[in-house]
Structure 1
Amino acid sequence: MAPFLAYEDKGPTQGPASSRQPHTPPVPLVLVHGHPFDRSMWSPQIRTFSRDRRVVAPDLRGYGASPAAPAVTDFSGFARDVEALLDELEVDTCVLAGLSMGGQIVMDCYRLFPERLRGLVLADTFPAAETPEGVRTRDAMADRLLAEGLGGYADEVLERMVAPYASPQVKAHVHAMMTGTSPQGAAAALRARARRPDYTALLARVHVPALVVVGADDTYTPVSDARALHAALPDATLHVVEGAAHLPNLERPEEFDRALAAFLAHVDARRQPSSAPARP
């Protein structure tokens, strides 16, 4: 299904087996954006990490340059799209990172194909299923976006998506992503997301390292949510980004990237073959 997705694929790729270096290459990094954004929300991370590793960032179905049809009707459709894109690009294993709705898609990916994931990055997200009130709210917002478009919504939520004190350039980028999103794609995603499963029990079964990141001033997924997520994961690191709200990777990219770089180095080190001699 996923070759129809628009995506960026940057950085070195592994060549044919006969030309590979004896050392293990860095684990590819795959970045899943949130709602209602597109892959350009990861521009700082694509630029930083593609210098020495493969970085893939898709536009989810209904967002960015990816078509809104066929519409996603089940939340797992996003995860299946990611899996199909990995197949298309011959990415056998990766570190999978997601922010907000993207983090929930990362959890669904772990539910469906954990054997392909070497690490998880869960930014400004939470695992619980939607409440009945939340379902009604998301459905009502879907109706509104179809009727009005995203302009009014973008104006209303901009200074919750990023902190009021964020730079004008960051605010403009975030506002442009929101207003550039297809109302049909956003509405379909809202309805599917409202009916997503609860990933809480899954967290205890995650057997790869995880990095939990949150903006200190995030009001959508506050630090308390990130602490609970961190506590539920068997092998996780928590990083709180001061001076940021719901999009710390754009608001404070240098700090976000330092935390992500340390995590990726940890994942890479776990894959390196041991130099110790084998026991007789």
Structure 2
Amino acid sequence: MPELSFTRAGSGPPLVLVHGYLGGSSMWAAQLAHFSPTRDVICPDLAGFGASNALEAPESIEGHAHAVLDLLDRLAVDRFDLLGHSMGGMVVQEMVRLAPERIGKLVLYGTGPRGVMPGRFETIAQSRDRLLRDGVPDTARRIAATWFRQGESAEGFALCLSLGQQAREQAAIASLKAWENWDGRPALGAIASPTLVLWGSRDRSYDWTQPEALWRGIPGADLAVVPGCAHNVHMEKPDLFNRLVADFLYAVDL
């Protein structure tokens, strides 16, 4: 399998950050800066996206999960804490299912346990039709605007637009197919890693039913709802996001 590109900085216990649809590792710049003084932060670019856009993307969430695990094998990273955003949240749920012994703490952020998401701003079929009609650049602009309360005027929009427009059309379409064929709900009860579910209260990609299903379905999961944020909390309120994640990662269970 071709090797994923990645961004890495810092030293200490490994922390792996997995981006979502039409994203890339450079979306984690604020988290890389915050956590790298104390953690070995590894941010993969999923196949077909970001710096891995030359790679053909798998048509399954499990395929993406295997690719990230293979990357970590190549880097000799055996055990790690894990955070996944949006589609990346689906990917990390599959990573936990495939290799539960390797995951320490788990953060499921702006995501849910279903690939076919009720309440999404548009159906997967509509996304596919519009993608084929409009192309990746216009699709990236339209979708990235939904990730921020301020739409295209948001500070992080330009970066997200640039990343989205780098994505292969094959990867954009393959990912939609992967969502249609994935359902993580049956595996939730088996997740033993301490888990934080984090969600922005104005998220248009995943409505409340999705993080709620994670929170209620994973034994002992914690929940953080960030008010006044849409899908990209880590870019809209990076300091608060980083504090919430750090508090969870560094907490000692009594």
Structure 1 length normalisation: TM-score?
A: 0.82
Q: What code does the residue aligned with 2:5 have?
A: A
AA matched with 2:232 = L
Percent identity, please: 37
For 1:165 and 1:61, the matched residues in 2 are separated by 27
- Between the aligned partners of 2:135 and 2:110, the Cα distance in structure 1 is 25
In structure 2, relative to structure 1, the CA distance for the partners of 1:246 and 1:116 (3 Å cut) is: same
1:94 pairs with 2:94? no
Q: Gaps spanning 5+ residues in structure 1: where?
A: 13-25, 271-280
1:209 and 2:194 matched:
yes
Query: Which residue matches 1:219?
Result: 204
Please report how far the alpha carbon of residue 173 of structure 1 lies from its aligned counterpart in structure 2 after TM superposition. 1.8
User: What 5-or-longer segments of structure 2 have no aligned partner?
Assistant: none
For residues 41 and 194 of structure 1, what CA distance do their matches in structure 2 show? 25
How far 1:76 sits from its partner (Å)? 0.8
Aligned 1:182-201 pairs, distance under 5 A: 182-196=168-182, 198-201=183-186
Structure 1 contact 99–124 (Cα < 8 Å) conserved: yes
Please list, as runs of the form range in 1=range in 2, the aligned pairs for 1:60-71 lying within 5 A after superposition: 60-71=46-57
AA paired with 1:185? A
* Correspondence for 1:245: 230
Q: Report SS of the residue matched to 1:157.
A: helix
Deviations 1:235-262 (A, max 9, x none): 2111111221001011111111001001
> Shift of residue 208 of structure 1?
1.2
Give the alignment's TM-score, normalised by structure 2.
Answer: 0.90
The whole-number CA distance in structure 1 between the counterparts of 2:39 and 2:30 is: 14
Tell me which of 77, 89, 111 is aligned to 2:63.
77
**1:72, 1:188 within 8 Å by CA — same for their partners in 2?**
yes
Give, in whole Å, the separation in 2 of the partners of 1:207 and 1:90. 23
Change (3 A) 1:203 1:243: same
**In structure 1, C-alpha distance between the alignment counterparts of 2:142 and 2:214, rounded to whole Å:** 28
* Counterparts in 2 of 1:255 and 1:150: CA distance versus 1, 3 Å: same
Structure with larger Rg: 1
- Contact 2:140–2:165 (CA under 8 A) maintained in structure 1: yes
Does residue 5 of structure 2 align to residue 9 of structure 1? no
Which shifted more, 183-192 or 147-156? 147-156
- With 173-182 and 110-119 compared, the bigger mean Cα shift is at 173-182
Secondary structure of the equivalent of 2:146?
Answer: helix
